[in-house]
Structure 1
Amino acid sequence: MNIISLLPSATEIVCELGLTDQLVGVTHECDFPIGVEQLPKVTRTLIPHDATSGEIDTMVRERLQTERALYSLDMPVVESLRPDLIVTQALCDVCAVAESEVNAAACSLPGQPRVVNLEPTSLSEMFDCIALVGEAANCSGRASALIESLRLRVQRVRERTTELQSRAGVQVPDMMLLEWIDPPFSAGHWSPELVRIAGGKECVGEAGERSVTTSWDRIREADPDVLFIACCGFNVARTLEDLPILRSYPGWSEMKCVREGRVYVVDGSAYFSRPGPRLVDSLEILANALHPQVHPLPSGLPAALQLTSEQLVAD
């Protein structure tokens, strides 16, 4: 079976299912596991590589108004790969090729390959997506085994959190998971659920809802104990470039999370933004940052970067 993936999380699901040798095409953003970036690219992006966060946000909003995606298929490449299965998504209106374009492309290809749409909004639905890909790729048994192993890891975190919160005097920290800086976006979908399992309370974002633009006044009023920055599509280094924007917001230095030095940055491209197996990695990274005394960081996972006082306070 020839499989084309049209989003990074799908690529990770396909590879975790042991189907790497059947993966023939990926997006320009697919970079995990190592090696998939060498596969033929079947998508193009309209976002300049040097665009600022504000410019990217403006482009996204303009495209939403015209119902045009920021990504498009490279049809000559797609045709040359002769796919039997195309894995895509209909969850985000701008972060992947438009569903209508994918369906039209599939209808025009010889044999009309099956198109599987992934639309998870929660951790449980991410597991359902793994099962769906497994069924489509004729490896339901492997999918069930993968789901079971991921659920076990989640359950271990949940049990440690429950035991911690049963202790007298233990407070559940209010926290915000920030998905974009310019303008600020609160994180929705599965992120508040991860926060709860990890031992925190998301005080701005709504579980199961879309990530949305959030006024800075709203964030200041929430005054979270912990701020966790996971900018969608940005690694740690790129996110740090936007710290001056955060520091310029009114009242930044007076926020509790800043005064107490509990602001963390993670690779939002690799974690939190991709609803695949690494959402469980994201949970473990978050739990370790919130409660390192009870949640050890699993071997091989990067710890969240805790910002220093010099990074938090403007010169």
Structure 2
Amino acid sequence: MRIVSLVPHATELLYALGLGDEVVAVTHECDYPTEAQAKPQVTRDRLPPGLSAAEIDRAVRERTEAGDAIYELDEELLRELEPDLIVTQALCPVCAVSYDEVAEVARRIATCPKVIALDPKTLGETMGDIRTLAQATGRRDAGLDLVARQRSRIDRVKIAVRGADRPRVAAIEWFDPVFIGGHWTPQLIDLAGGIDVLGLPGEHSAQVMWEDVIAARPEVVVCMPCGYDAPRAHLESELYAHELRRLSARDVVAVDAAATFSRPGPRLVDGLELLAHVLHPDLVGPPAYPPIPVAL
């Protein structure tokens, strides 16, 4: 099977199912696993580099309101690759090429590829996506095995934090304007032994004011600007240190959001283990993606 992945978390999932050799192209943002970086890239970013958080937000809003795409799809290369399956998403217009554009292009490809959209809003739905993709690619057993391993790791965290005090947590997904984490993030905080004071499970990430975050009285603030790694998240946190100080939280950390929170792929469980360590370091050992403390 010849597979094109148009969203990073789908690429991660395809490789986790043992389908790396069948992936013939990915996006310009597919950086995990490392082998994926050697694949042909069928997208590019239309936003200029070097923008601030506020400038990125403004550019994205202007483009989406005007009906303009954030990413450009290389239709000619996609046709040449003659895929049998294209995996994309429709949940977030900021995260990938639009589903409608992909479906339209697919109809013009000689191989008439099947298009699958993975759009999970909860942790449970990410498990369902594993089964969906495994079924579509003939990897049912690999899918069942991956789900079992994911659930085993989740259970270990739940058992480790059972009965522990539950600190109040705010997950900051963007700084200017302020967005708090939604979708699966509140679930991960709950499973990690915390209380999300702003986000709602399964709901979209929401724009709030700094005053709203202050009023929520978080004890722990997790800085997870969407799509950024830990060093970039730490840098962004330092730029907004004044606002973060106003929260009077006991702990503020920056994390690798791109690896563990922004993408609803297999590494969300790494994000769960990271959160559990941040909230309960005496109960859960160091995670694979260490947080960076933010000095305020």
Q: Identify the TM-score tier after normalising by the shorter chain.
A: over 0.9
Name the CA distance, whole Å, in 2 between partners of 1:243 and 1:177.
12
In the alignment, does 2:283 pair up with 1:305?
A: no
Q: TM-score, normalized by length of structure 2? A: 0.97
Name the CA distance, whole Å, in 2 between partners of 1:93 and 1:114.
21
Where do residues 1-315 of structure 1 align in structure 2 (5 Å cutoff)? 1-162=1-162, 164-165=163-164, 171-249=165-243, 252-257=244-249, 260=250, 262-298=251-287, 301-308=288-295, 312=296
| Uncovered stretches (5+) of structure 2, i.e. residues with no partner | none
Following superposition, the deviation at residue 45 of structure 1 comes to 1.1
What SS does structure 1 have at the residue aligned with 2:257?
Answer: coil
Name the CA distance, whole Å, in 2 between partners of 1:151 and 1:69.
36
Equivalent pair of 1:24/1:39 in contact (CA under 8 Å): yes
What SS does structure 1 have at the residue aligned with 2:222?
Answer: strand
| Uncovered stretches (5+) of structure 1, i.e. residues with no partner | 166-170
RMSD: 1.2
| 1:168 aligned residue | none
Equivalent pair of 1:271/1:279 in contact (CA under 8 Å): yes
Following superposition, the deviation at residue 248 of structure 1 comes to 3.6
What SS does structure 2 have at the residue aligned with 1:277?
Answer: coil
> Does the C-alpha gap of structure 1 residues 256 and 248 become closer, same or farther in structure 2, counting only changes over 3 Å?
closer
Describe the superposition over 1:258-301 as per-residue Cα deviations: whole angstroms up to 9, x where unpaired. xx3x0010111111000000000100011011101111135xx1
Describe the superposition over 1:61-82 as per-residue Cα deviations: whole angstroms up to 9, x where unpaired. 1122123330121011111211
Name the CA distance, whole Å, in 1 between partners of 2:246 and 2:115.
50
Describe the superposition over 1:122-154 as per-residue Cα deviations: whole angstroms up to 9, x where unpaired. 111001011111111111111111111101110
Equivalent pair of 1:157/1:295 in contact (CA under 8 Å): yes
Name the CA distance, whole Å, in 1 between partners of 2:154 and 2:219.
24
Following superposition, the deviation at residue 87 of structure 1 comes to 0.4
Following superposition, the deviation at residue 172 of structure 1 comes to 1.2
Q: Which amino acid aligns with 2:197?
A: C
Overall identity of the aligned pairs, in %: 39
Name the CA distance, whole Å, in 2 between partners of 1:177 and 1:42.
32
Name the CA distance, whole Å, in 2 between partners of 1:131 and 1:67.
33
Following superposition, the deviation at residue 60 of structure 1 comes to 1.3
Q: TM-score, normalized by length of structure 1? A: 0.91
Name the CA distance, whole Å, in 1 between partners of 2:30 and 2:36.
7
Equivalent pair of 1:178/1:186 in contact (CA under 8 Å): yes
